[in-house]
């Protein structure tokens, strides 16, 4: 029987409640599908920072590297200045573990209302592959003459051939393996960002020659967001840079029903990857057992898929779909008709029933 060692970072706000339910479902899947999970908890987050003044311990990256995956709740604390925890924990883990892909499925499940009028599950089913270690997130730039009328702020987008190429290759391979429309859309801005997206576009064309079975498509980011709303069925896989990916995946989350259901993976194909619900720490709902844990449960499904437990991963997705159609009333916190722990129980119970 395989045993997977998973680092758990519950984090801030509703993170711990979400992760608790995610782990409940992961345990149920392990039991039903014949593998085991060895979880270790790490207390990284706002509370720890406020107590100790330290965002991540010195040896955090070395320690966490030893795990096969990371299961994350949420990072962000109302008493900590924005940026400190996000950069010091979330982005640090992404960068130092070289999780160069941020994978975000956008899928409308049956029974969930999309804010897009007239769109059904068959219309909203695509995946965004976001570059996760470069671009505007690289932290290149600085401020000169701060606080004076002559202040200058520069924030540069870093795009390396290596970084762009490995992201594109991942996207082409992913699109092929997904086996749906076999269309890869590069989302860029070649008409204005004529350096960065020149590199992206050339690499896309060159690497694309190795994938004759994949249709190559291009859209400027401002057009892509229009199509995501008007014709989401147009898309299969979208590949884009870090900043555009950040923005368009929040739109993606909303059209699939909201932050209550949206999950993502920070992937290093040959290292330690990290899976998370993409909503924030929702401080106002903390500790009330009202937050929707489905996003964390879906992140758990992605984690198992990544570890190679495909059957169990699919079973979790099926159980989530079953709970979405018919059972829960709304994906919004406090309006589900069930508590956080009850939603976890429903998914776990469905999973166990279908496995036997
Ligand atoms: C996300 C988040 C992060 C990002 C923040 C919290 C740093 O918005 O995962 O999309 O910008 O990448
Ligand atoms: Mn974001």
- In tens, the pLDDT along 274-320 reads 999 999 899 999 999 999 999 999 999 999 999 999 999 999 999 99
Q: Return d(Cα 156, Cα 149) in angstroms, integer.
A: 22
Would you say residue 48 has pLDDT above 80? yes
Q: Please check whether residue 251 is in contact with residue 116, taking contact to mean a CB–CB distance below 8 angstroms.
A: no
Q: What percent of the chain has pLDDT over 90?
A: 97
CA of 41 to the centre of ligand 1 (A): 22
Would you say residue 170 has pLDDT above 90? yes
Q: Return d(Cα 293, Cα 63) in angstroms, integer.
A: 27
Q: What is the pLDDT of residue 32?
A: 97
> Band of the pLDDT at 81, cuts 50, 70, 90?
very high
The domain at 1-109+262-356 falls in which architecture?
3-Layer(aba) Sandwich (3.40)
Q: What is the mean pLDDT of residues 317-332?
A: 92
Helix ranges (H only) for 218-339 are 221-230, 242-255, 294-307, 310-322
Q: What is the pLDDT of residue 239?
A: 99
Ligand 1 atom closest to residue 250's alpha carbon, by position in its atom list: 10
Ligand 1 atom closest to residue 246's alpha carbon, by position in its atom list: 10
Overall pTM surpassing 0.75 (yes/no)? yes
Instruction: Identify the residue whose tokens are 């795009």.
Output: 159
Instruction: Point out which residues pair with 276 in neighbouring strands.
Output: 264
Ligand sitting nearest the alpha carbon of 250: 2
Structure tokens at 296: 């964390």
Instruction: Point out which residues pair with 152 in neighbouring strands.
Output: 144
> Band of the pLDDT at 29, cuts 50, 70, 90?
very high
248 lines ligand 1 (CB under 6 A): no
Q: What is the mean pLDDT of residues 86-115?
A: 96
> Band of the pLDDT at 355, cuts 50, 70, 90?
confident
Ligand 1 atom closest to residue 276's alpha carbon, by position in its atom list: 9
Residue 113's CB: how many other CB atoms inside 10 A? 11
- Per-residue HEC secondary structure of 71-105 comes to EEEECCCCCCCCCHHHHHHHHHHHHHCCCCEEEEE
> Band of the pLDDT at 326, cuts 50, 70, 90?
confident
CA of 160 to the centre of ligand 1 (A): 21
Report how far Cα 65 is from the mean position of its chain's Cα atoms: 19
Residue 260, CA atoms < 13 Å, CB-side half-sphere: 25
Q: What is the mean pLDDT of residues 69-85?
A: 96
For the chain, the structural domain boundaries read 1-109+262-356, 113-255
Q: Please check whether residue 17 is in contact with residue 336, taking contact to mean a CB–CB distance below 8 angstroms.
A: no
Ligand 1: which residue has its CA nearest to atom 7?
Answer: 86
Give the full edge-to-edge strand order of the sheet including 215-220.
36-41, 3-11, 69-74, 273-277, 263-267, 101-107, 125-131, 237-240, 183-188, 215-220
Q: Return d(Cα 309, Cα 321) in angstroms, integer.
A: 19
Would you say residue 134 has pLDDT above 90? yes
Structure tokens at 256: 């699939």
> Band of the pLDDT at 327, cuts 50, 70, 90?
confident
Mean pLDDT over each residue of the chain, to the nearest integer: 97
12 lines ligand 1 (CB under 6 A): no
Would you say residue 356 has pLDDT above 90? no
Instruction: Name the fold adopted by 113-255.
Output: Isopropylmalate Dehydrogenase (3.40.718)
How big is the chain, counted in residues?
A: 356
Instruction: Identify the residue whose tokens are 């057009």.
Output: 223
Q: For 290, list phi and psi in degrees, rounded to 5.
A: -120, -10
- Same topology, domains 1-109+262-356 and 113-255? Answer is yes
Q: What is the mean pLDDT of residues 26-34?
A: 97
Q: For 304-335, b where at least 16 C-beta lie within 10 A, e where not — what string?
A: bbbbebeebbebbbebbbbbbeebbeebebee
Region label for 139, one of left (φ > 0), alpha (ψ between -120 and 50) or beta (otherwise): left
Candidate from 44, 87, 91, 259 with most ligand 1 atoms within 8 A of CB, to mutate: 91
Q: What is the pLDDT of residue 337?
A: 95
Q: Return d(Cα 140, Cα 245) in angstroms, integer.
A: 18
Q: Return d(Cα 101, Cα 92) in angstroms, integer.
A: 14
Measured between alpha carbons, how far is residue 309 from residues 284, 287, 301 in Å?
Answer: 35, 32, 9
């Amino acid at each position: 029987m395989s045993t997977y060692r998973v680092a758990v970072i519950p984090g801030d706000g509703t993170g711990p409640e979400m992760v608790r339910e995610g782990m409940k479902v992961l345990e149920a899947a392990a039991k039903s599908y014949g593998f085991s999970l060895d979880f270790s908890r790490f207390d990284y987050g706002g509370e720890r920072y406020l107590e100790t003044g330290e965002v991540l311990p010195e040896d955090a990256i070395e320690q966490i590297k030893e795990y096969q995956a990371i299961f994350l709740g949420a990072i962000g604390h109302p008493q900590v200045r924005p940026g400190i925890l996000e950069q010091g924990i979330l982005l640090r883990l992404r960068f130092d573990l070289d999780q160069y892909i941020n994978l975000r499925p956008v899928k409308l499940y049956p029974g969930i209302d999309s804010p897009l009028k007239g769109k059904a599950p068959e219309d909203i089913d695509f995946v965004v592959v976001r570059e996760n270690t470069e671009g505007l997130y690289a932290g290149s730039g600085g401020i000169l003459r701060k606080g004076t009328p002559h202040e200058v702020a520069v924030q540069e987008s870093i795009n390396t051939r290596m970084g762009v190429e490995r992201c594109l290759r991942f996207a082409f391979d992913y699109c092929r393996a997904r086996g749906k429309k076999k269309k890869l859309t590069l989302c860029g801005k070649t008409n204005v960002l004529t350096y960065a997206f020149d590199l992206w576009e050339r690499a896309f064309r060159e690497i694309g020659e190795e994938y004759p079975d994949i249709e190559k498509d291009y859209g400027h980011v401002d057009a892509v967001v229009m199509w995501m709303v008007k014709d989401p069925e147009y898309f299969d896989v979208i590949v884009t840079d870090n900043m555009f990916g950040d923005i368009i995946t929040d739109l993606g989350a909303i059209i699939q029903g909201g932050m209550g259901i949206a999950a993502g993976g920070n992937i290093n194909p040959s290292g330690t990857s990290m899976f998370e619900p993409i909503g924030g720490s929702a401080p106002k709902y903390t500790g009330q057992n009202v937050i929707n844990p489905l996003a964390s449960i879906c992140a758990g499904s992605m984690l198992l898929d990544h570890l190679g437990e495909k059957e169990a991963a699919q079973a979790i997705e099926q159980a989530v779909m079953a709970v979405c159609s018919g059972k829960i009333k709304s994906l919004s916190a406090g309006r589900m008709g069930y508590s956080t722990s009850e939603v976890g129980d429903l998914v776990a119970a469905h999973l166990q029933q279908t496995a036997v």
